[in-house]
Structure formats: C-alpha cells, structure tokens
Amino acid sequence: MFDMPDFDGHEAVHWFHDKATGYRGLIAIHDSTLGPACGGTRMWAYANADAALTDALRLSKGMSYKNAMAELPLGGGKAVIMGDAKTQKTPALMRAHGRAVASLDGRYVTAMDVGMTEADMETIASVTKHVAGYAQAGRTGGDPSPMTAWGVFCGIRAAVKFVNGSDDLKGLRIAVQGVGNVGYETARHLKAAGARLVVADVNPANLHRAEALGAEIASPDAIHAADADVYAPCALGAVLNDRTIGQIRAKIVAGGANNQLARPAVHGRAVMEQGILYAPDYVINGGGIIRVCGQIYDWSDEAIRAKTEGIGVTLTEVFGAAQAERRPTHEVADRIARTRIESAKQSKAA
C-alpha cells in the first residue's frame, strides 16, 4: 500500500471482514489534523481489492482538501464497501459496516455516498453514533444533496462574476450534465435566476423532470460541447479529458461532479490554456459536507446556509490567485488546502 501512487501519507487504512454477512470494507483516514476524519461510505462492485483501496485513498485525500477549503473542523476520510449495492446490500451487512465505523471510536464519521441511502444510514446508526448526513429527528442537517446544489449555484455565480464582472445569470445559457438530485436542484436555482438551460442525463425520468424547467435536451455524449456560457458537470467524473477539453465552448466549467479532471496535472493546465475558468470540484461542491458538519456540531440551518454561501467567496480567492500566478485553479486550491492543514499541525505542535 505504501508504494501505491495514491498513497499520500495517510494516517491509517483499516480493512474489515464479516464472514456471516459477506461484508468486506475498508476505511481510509487521510488526515485528522482539523478534526475527526469525515467522508461518505461508498458501496461499489470493485473489480478487486486494489481498486477499492485506490478509490478509498483518493477519496479520503479529497475529503481532507474539501473540508480544509470549507474551513470545517473535520479531517478527511472515506469508507468503501466491496459489493453490488443493488443485489448484495442487506440490513445485516449495513450493521456490520456500522460496527466497523464504531470500532474506530470517533476517529471517523461516515455519511452517504454512491450506493447508499438514508435508510442505510439509519441502519448503520443503530450500531454506531458516528454517522451523519441523513434526517434525524430534532437535529439540523439531513440529505446533503440540496445544500450541495445551493453551493454549486453560489459557485457558478461567483465564476460568472469573475469572468463577466456581474453575477447576473439572466439570459445566460448553462449546460448541466446530469440532473439527478444535485444536478436538478442546481438547474432549478439557475432557472429561477433567469438562466437558459441545456441538460443531459442517461435517465429518462430525470430528463422529463428537467423539461418542466423549460430545459433543452442534449445528448450525454455531446453536452460538454454545447453552445453555452457555463458547462456544469453534475454526474460522472473525469469529464475533462483529452477528448473533451478542446471541444468545450463554454468559458466557465463549474459543476457538482467529483474528480472532474481525468488527470489533474495534465488536464488542469489544458483547461487553463484553453481560456476556460475551472471551479475546482471539491471547492464548489462543498455544500454537502458543510451540511453534514452542521449536523455533527449542531449548527443552525441559517449557519449551514451562510457557510455554504461562503463557497463563492473562497472560489473568488482561488480564481484571483490563479490569474495572478498564471497557474491552474486546482493547483492553487490544493496549495491553500495543504497550507491550512499544515498551519493547524504547527499550531498543535507549538
């Protein structure tokens, strides 16, 4: 593991197995300097254990940076469960995962990710208190998707203002790739602000819902090349790659999808050289983890919303520094995140 390219000085990686339920999972803790490691649980039919480990290493590091950029009292962690969520998930398996989380005694707090539902979170919570990001009676927070979408909307406005000098979205054409939970809510906010929508999704039900917003429908394979002011990826990752970057007509890429740069070191610079302003994904989509954090620390709904709206301010800081230094925005965001973590480490050591 220590020689894998995605190992980044992670504090710990825990492997778990429960023979009775068939549970096979792992929890990666990247950095807990800022607080307990927090990040969602993902259930996926990985090809092998190496693929599961790679995903956990990458995602936990991403959570460290996301939490640092949102200035949250949380470190970065991630859990993955090896298995098909549609055919292999059972309540007993979820409880086995909950026991794995509980065994870390608060060093890691889990939430929802791909393949998980609010019902799964409730099952996990039956055996551990170290879970958040789902509706709990008498507590703020809940499903993080709506706040993720609000943060993406605020980030798009910040990017538009940086490019156009005004955050007015009226009449702007915005291409939204993926109109599931986050994408649809983002599109709804954009429509209310007067934007014209072009959307794509592989799910016909999602498209039907988006059509009610007056959205034009595009092919999922061509949405990145739509004639638009803003391209907002809100579905799959790695959408900024060797094939797509040269075809993008928008001057801004700002959306809720994770890991949008297929190869950050290569494609972040390629986007910049194309004259496109890129909102680093783990900054603009931070609203969800802000809501999770608010539930953990019992913040008010107003405080959660205000913190999420600060995403626009953070992005403006990133954009300005990247422009001044002529560096890709993701490199600037990475540096800021690392600096915040290192500064906290030095303060603790003093």
User: What's at 345, amino acid-wise?
Assistant: K
Q: Are the C-beta atoms of residues 75 and 32 closer than 8 Å to each other?
A: yes
What torsion do the CA atoms of 225, 231, 236, 237 make, to the nearest 10 degrees? 100
Helix, coil or strand: residue 257: coil
Q: Closest Cα partner for 84 from 118, 43, 120, 24?
A: 43
Q: Closest Cα partner for 73 from 108, 37, 101?
A: 37
Query: How many CA within 13 A on the CB side of residue 39?
Result: 30
- In the chain, where does DSSP find H-type helix? 49-69, 91-103, 118-125, 145-164, 181-192, 204-211, 264-273, 281-284, 287-296, 301-309, 311-325, 329-349
User: What's at 228, amino acid-wise?
Assistant: A
> Catalytic site residue 170?
no
Catalytic residue among 19, 61, 66, 78: 78
8-state DSSP, 240: B
Q: How far is CA 64 from CA 216, 233, 338, in A?
A: 37, 22, 9
Helix, coil or strand: residue 56: helix
Q: Closest Cα partner for 120 from 93, 140, 80, 155?
A: 93
Query: How many Å apart are CA 3 and CA 103, to the nearest integer?
Result: 27
User: Annotated catalytic sites, by residue?
Assistant: 78
